[in-house]
């Protein structure tokens, strides 16, 4: 939730303004200059957006150095806030104390809104123009007591806030899971689609309550309905003829984007090609769950299978976490392994590690293998959180940037501990000052 801090000299009307913003009359009214108040956060909302207002009123009433006290107060506000309201008294105008605080606020690079309070009438409003000289832009003229200008001010506050994080991250997915069945021409995509449709005798045309793109197919696989994204080209068998490789590649990228999990078909009877690798990269970069199906496994001689698996390990060593199945669309071999593989990959994609468990593991790891010392110092890893899912995203809070090698080490250990088979994961480092 974004934090809005209210900063200003004593008696400019900060409490009244906070009351006006949160829409109730309560708390202390600032009649006495320098009344000590705690930095109490209040819940507020405007136009459906929630935020927290912090009244930073408190400091020693008889502080010797007022300017310093204000500057400190501003400093605290700046550290914690997403938006700062700097309140001045429109009837008094700016003072040297205000100017000291402004210098501090401007260095902070946080969005600051200059509020000229106590503008109870038009005459005072005119006077407020002089506050432009503070260098914080246009003064927002309000009367916290009477409510004048408070709606406009709230609009400005919302506009200055950081974008809300996209919701739905953990929403239970509705309708069939979306799968991209992709692979270069001739690997057997249409054959697999036909096989699935025939075996299951369950090609569905619609699912109640969902709209399915006409280019998609709904197919029953493993007792569950799946939405195979952009299979129109496959069904009509025009995919090879309908355009250049460039066009096909765009189409593949689009299907991957639209899907939650990609089933990438590779031809087991041929070496893994550059084009195959490019498709795999698309999936990883799009952050989708990944199952690799080696098709035409019926063409692989029994005595070559072990060696082939080894070759594949080598070729795919950058994505050892991908789930692999060996199938034959022609004979139907192991086609029933596909649905469980897709389900497992999706479960990893949506997995969430509880913060306590994550940090217990992390503490032990960095104790056992601390960051190597460089130039007499080593950044410390403080703690971690999982910032999101689909795919799992982790943030490491540290005292400095990590060596790329050490970061990869932490990532590898994270997988060893928690799995995530079939899903990419991401780890970002946030150094704290």
Binding site for ligand GDP (CB under 6 A): 183, 185-191, 234, 295-296, 298-299, 328-330
What residue number has its CB nearest to ligand GDP? 188
- DSSP β-bridge partners for residue 116: 88, 141
Give the residue with the Cβ less far from ligand GDP, 84 or 264: 264
Of 219, 184, 188, the C-alpha closest to 201 is 219
Give the residue with the Cβ less far from ligand GDP, 191 or 399: 191
CA–CA gap between residue 315 and residue 298 (Å, rounded): 21
**According to the annotation, is 419 in a ligand binding site?**
no
**According to the annotation, is 90 in a ligand binding site?**
no
Give the residue with the Cβ less far from ligand GDP, 187 or 402: 187
Give the residue with the Cβ less far from ligand GDP, 56 or 295: 295
Q: How far is the CB of 279 from ligand GDP (least distance, A)?
A: 12
Are the C-beta atoms of 314 and 408 separated by less than 8 Å?
no
Which structure tokens are listed for 333?
Answer: 């071999």
Q: How far is the CB of 395 from ligand GDP (least distance, A)?
A: 40
Count of all residues that appear for the chain in the document? 433
**According to the annotation, is 231 in a ligand binding site?**
yes
Give the residue with the Cβ less far from ligand GDP, 183 or 391: 183
**According to the annotation, is 269 in a ligand binding site?**
no
Q: How far is the CB of 310 from ligand GDP (least distance, A)?
A: 22
Q: Which DSSP category does 180 fall into? A: E
DSSP track, 117-146:
E---SHHHHHHGGGGGGGSSSS-EE-BTTT
Of 3, 209, 191, 186, the C-alpha closest to 111 is 3
Give the residue with the Cβ less far from ligand GDP, 10 or 183: 183
Cα 12 → chain centroid? 39
Give the residue with the Cβ less far from ligand GDP, 15 or 239: 239
**According to the annotation, is 178 in a ligand binding site?**
no
Q: How far is the CB of 308 from ligand GDP (least distance, A)?
A: 15
Of 411, 205, 178, 187, the C-alpha closest to 279 is 187
Give the residue with the Cβ less far from ligand GDP, 80 or 191: 191
**According to the annotation, is 298 in a ligand binding site?**
yes
Q: How far is the CB of 190 from ligand GDP (least distance, A)?
A: 4
Of 5, 6, 11, 118, the C-alpha closest to 61 is 11
**According to the annotation, is 15 in a ligand binding site?**
yes
22: exposed, middle or buried (Cβ count in 10 Å: 0-12, 13-18, 19+): middle
Q: How far is the CB of 328 from ligand GDP (least distance, A)?
A: 4
Specify the residue for token string 């689009």.
254
Q: Where are the alpha helices (DSSP H) in 93-149?
A: 96-108, 122-127
Q: How far is the CB of 195 from ligand GDP (least distance, A)?
A: 8
**According to the annotation, is 238 in a ligand binding site?**
no
Q: List % helix, strand, coil for the chain (3-state, nearest 5).
A: 40, 20, 40
* 49-55 and 41-46 strand pairing: antiparallel
Are the C-beta atoms of 119 and 148 separated by less than 8 Å?
yes
CA–CA gap between residue 186 and residue 181 (Å, rounded): 13
**According to the annotation, is 58 in a ligand binding site?**
yes
Q: How far is the CB of 212 from ligand GDP (least distance, A)?
A: 21
**According to the annotation, is 12 in a ligand binding site?**
yes
Annotated binding site: 8-15, 55-59, 117-120, 183-190, 230-234, 295-298
Annotated binding site for GTP: 8-15, 55-59, 117-120, 183-190, 230-234, 295-298
């Amino acid at each position: 939730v974004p934090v809005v801090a209210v900063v200003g000299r004593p008696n400019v009307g900060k409490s009244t303004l906070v009351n006006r913003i949160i829409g109730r009359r309560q708390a202390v009214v600032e009649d006495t200059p320098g009344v000590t108040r705690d930095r109490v956060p209040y819940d507020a909302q405007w136009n459906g957006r929630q935020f927290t207002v912090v009244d930073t009123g408190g400091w020693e009433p008889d502080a010797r150095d007022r300017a310093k006290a204000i500057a400190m107060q501003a400093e605290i506000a700046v550290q914690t806030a997403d938006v700062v309201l700097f309140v001045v008294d429109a009837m008094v105008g700016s003072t040297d104390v205000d100017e000291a605080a402004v210098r501090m606020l401007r260095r902070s690079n946080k969005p600051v809104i200059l509020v000229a309070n106590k503008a109870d009438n038009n005459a005072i409003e005119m006077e407020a123009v002089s506050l432009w000289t503070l260098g914080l832009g246009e003064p927002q003229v309000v009367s916290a007591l009477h409510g004048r200008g408070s709606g406009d001010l709230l609009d400005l506050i919302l506009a200055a806030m950081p974008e809300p994080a996209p919701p739905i991250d953990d929403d239970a997915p509705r309708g069939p899971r979306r799968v991209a069945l992709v692979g270069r021409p001739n690997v057997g995509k249409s054959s697999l689609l036909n096989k699935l449709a025939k075996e299951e005798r369950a090609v569905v045309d619609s699912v109640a309550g969902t709209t399915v793109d006409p280019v998609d197919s709904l197919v029953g696989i493993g007792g569950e309905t799946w939405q195979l994204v952009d299979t129109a080209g496959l069904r009509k068998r025009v995919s090879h003829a309908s355009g250049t490789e460039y066009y096909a590649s765009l189409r593949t990228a689009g299907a991957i984007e639209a899907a939650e999990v990609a089933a990438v078909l590779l031809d087991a009877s041929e070496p893994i090609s550059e084009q195959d690798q490019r498709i795999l990269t698309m999936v990883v970069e799009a952050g989708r769950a990944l199952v690799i199906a080696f098709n035409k496994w019926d063409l692989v001689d029994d005595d070559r299978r072990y060696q082939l698996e080894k070759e594949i390990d080598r070729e795919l060593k950058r994505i050892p976490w991908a789930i692999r199945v060996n199938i034959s669309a022609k004979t139907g071999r192991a086609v029933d392994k596909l649905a469980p593989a897709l389900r497992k990959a999706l479960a990893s994609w949506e997995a969430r590690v509880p913060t306590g468990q994550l940090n217990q593991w992390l503490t032990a790891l960095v104790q056992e293998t601390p960051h190597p010392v460089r130039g007499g110092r080593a950044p410390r890893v403080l703690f971690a959180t999982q910032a999101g899912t689909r795919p799992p995203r982790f943030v490491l809070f540290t005292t400095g940037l990590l060596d790329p090698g050490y970061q990869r080490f932490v990532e590898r250990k994270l997988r060893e501990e928690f799995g995530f088979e079939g899903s990419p994961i991401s780890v970002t480092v946030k150094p704290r000052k």
